[in-house]
Structure 1
Amino acid sequence: MSDMVNASPQDIRKLAGALAAYRDEVTKASKKVQGALAQANWHDSRKQQFEGKYRDLQKKIDSFMSSDVDQMAKGLKQLASKLEDIRNVRM
């Protein structure tokens, strides 16, 4: 396997942007669910169970978004910059 990178810096940046948009959309959707859950006229032990499961899921999603997705986007932006630097040296 070769270490050579054959990619467009612009395409790499687009991918980083798509990851950021994905993170934002998931965050918006999570807030909608939290709002709907808070406003739901539902008061029993099943709601408490659901809320507990949802909180656990939300913690996992938040962790994934703040560490993995952000790091992937950051790494892609760095790769794009390095690729541009290399192209500028060659020209």
Structure 2
Amino acid sequence: MELDLAGAELKSILNRLRRAQGQISGVIRMIEEGRDCEEVVTQLAAASRALDRAGFAIIATGLQRCVADIESGRTNGQDAQQMRARMEKLFLSLA
């Protein structure tokens, strides 16, 4: 499945990824500065959530596209069960 996102979807996902990138840079800096463990873990958890949200947004878009493809008959030779298995694998990869 290709990653083909519309403008608003793409912008939202890229914003989340940039936010996570900044948070990870912050975590690195905090560790280098010897900051408090609780502060570091809190920032790391925020970065993890941002990455998860970006991943879920990508999967949700893919799921929406798969449903549209099934309804329109554009399944590239895959049946609904195969497409479902692929989407399930993607969801589980973020679990």
TM-score normalised by structure 1 residue count: 0.50
Tell which structure's C-alpha radius of gyration is larger: 1
Q: Which has the higher contact order (CA 8 A, sep 6+)?
A: 1
- TM (normalized to structure 2)? 0.48
